[in-house]
């Protein structure tokens, strides 16, 4: 049954993407990091329609119906679940002090923080880091490769896409034996992530080319994270719109990777 459902989703996504893959804006600049632009735009349109039909309305309802203190607790809980992923990637990159920091953070929030619902580690001086296996591969010299829009999951690249699978198996959630609990945690997690991005919707709707904006924002942010904020020359590209990109203001960074970065976001170009 699961296999049939997966095949149906893939077939529907492929059909939608192929139907839209020839719709490129006229005279639009071609990014050297996006050789599969036609296909990526098709998948982006599919993801956007899915978002407008399901994810965005659910996130809006969640924000309206659930009090803010509870939403903060949900954010803290899932951020704490991602801490082992961050910790392991700290160590793989040779950042052993950061790994010790994240270990202490995880222990403190899991115990005194009631399974991570509260965040006593931050006022205790244990800052939250942001590392994932895609960044680890980047540190090891693996090039990001072409940009890739993934069905349902959104923007990525050829290096980060398979790295996400590795990160998934570093998350304690994957080792919960009860499948109802394990898979049931995905819905509130992704609802919380989408809710944290609602403030960006108006900005995105005003851009000339939302796909190019999202693509270039993703590529710039990933380059920034891999380099720890050093030597990033790429800029956000939005033809016809010179407005600066707003700083993320949510506590969690759902568009990026496990954990919240202690690296500041790059200043607007």
The model's pLDDT over 224-234, given as tens digits with 9 standing for 90+, comes to: 999 998 855 44
- Does residue 43 sit within a domain? yes
pLDDT band at 254 (very low <50, low <70, confident <90, very high): very low
In a domain, residue 196? The reply is: yes
Looking at the predicted structure, is the pLDDT value of residue 150 above 80? yes
Region 252-260: mean pLDDT is: 46
Is 233 domain-assigned? no
Q: Is residue 16 part of a domain?
A: no
What's the confidence (pLDDT) of residue 232? Answer: 55
Give a yes or no: residue 243 inside a domain: no
Q: Does the pLDDT value for residue 258 go beyond 50?
A: no
In this predicted structure, the answer to whether residue 235 has a pLDDT above a threshold of 50 is no
| Residue 5 placed within a domain | no
Say if CB 163 and CB 133 are below 8 A apart. yes
Over the stretch 63-75, which tens digit does the pLDDT of each residue have?
A: 999 999 999 999 9
Overall average pLDDT of the 227-254 stretch: 51
Express as a percent the part of the chain with pLDDT over 90: 73
Q: How many independent structural domains does the chain possess? A: 1
Backbone dihedral angles phi then psi of residue 150, each to the nearest 5 degrees: -95, 135
Eight-state DSSP code of residue 175 = G
Least confident of 39-43, 94-98, 186-190, 240-244: 240-244
Indicate whether 7 belongs to any domain.
no
Contact between 206 and 177 (Cβ < 8 Å):
no
pLDDT at position 268 over 90: no
- Residue predicted with more confidence, 18 or 195: 195
Q: What is the mean pLDDT of residues 53-71?
A: 98
Dist CA 106 CA 126 (whole Å): 10
pLDDT at 245: 41
pLDDT computed for residue 2 by the predictor:
38
Label the pairing between strands 154-157 and 147-150.
Answer: antiparallel
Using a pLDDT cut of 70, give the percent of the chain over it: 74
Instruction: Say how far apart CA 215 and CA 211 lie, in whole Å.
Output: 6
What value does the mean pLDDT of the chain take? 83
Return d(Cα 41, Cα 155) in angstroms, integer. Answer: 11
Distance CA 126, CA 66 (A): 28
> Quick one: pLDDT at residue 230?
80
Residues of the domain holding 162: 31-226
Confidence of residue 32 (pLDDT cuts 50, 70, 90): confident
pLDDT for 47: 98
Tell whether 159 is covered by a domain.
yes
């Amino acid at each position: 049954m699961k296999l049939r459902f997966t095949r149906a989703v893939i077939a529907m996504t492929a059909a939608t993407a192929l139907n839209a893959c020839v719709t490129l804006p006229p005279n639009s600049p071609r990014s050297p990091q996006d050789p599969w632009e036609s296909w990526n735009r098709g998948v982006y349109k599919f993801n956007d329609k899915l978002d407008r039909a399901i994810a965005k309305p659910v996130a809006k309802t969640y924000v309206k119906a659930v009090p803010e203190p509870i939403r903060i607790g949900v954010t803290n809980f899932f951020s704490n679940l991602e801490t082992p992923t961050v910790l392991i990637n700290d160590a793989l990159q040779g950042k052993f002090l950061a790994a010790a920091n994240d270990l202490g953070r995880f222990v403190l929030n899991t115990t005194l923080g009631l399974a991570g619902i509260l965040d006593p580690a931050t006022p205790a001086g244990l800052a939250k880091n942001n590392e994932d296996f895609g960044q680890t591969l980047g540190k090891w010299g693996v090039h990001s490769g072409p940009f890739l829009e993934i069905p349902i999951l959104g923007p990525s690249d050829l290096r980060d896409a398979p790295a996400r699978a590795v990160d998934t198996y570093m998350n304690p959630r994957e080792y919960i034996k009860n499948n109802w609990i394990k898979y049931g945690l995905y819905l509130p997690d992704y609802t919380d992530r989408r809710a944290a991005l609602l403030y960006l919707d108006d900005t995105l709707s005003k851009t000339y080319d939302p796909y190019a904006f999202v693509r270039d924002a993703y590529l710039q942010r990933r380059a920034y994270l891999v380099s720890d904020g050093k030597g990033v020359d790429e800029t956000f590209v939005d033809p016809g719109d010179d407005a600066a990109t707003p700083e993320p203001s949510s506590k969690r960074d759902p568009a990026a990777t496990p954990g919240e970065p202690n690296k500041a976001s790059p200043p607007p170009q």
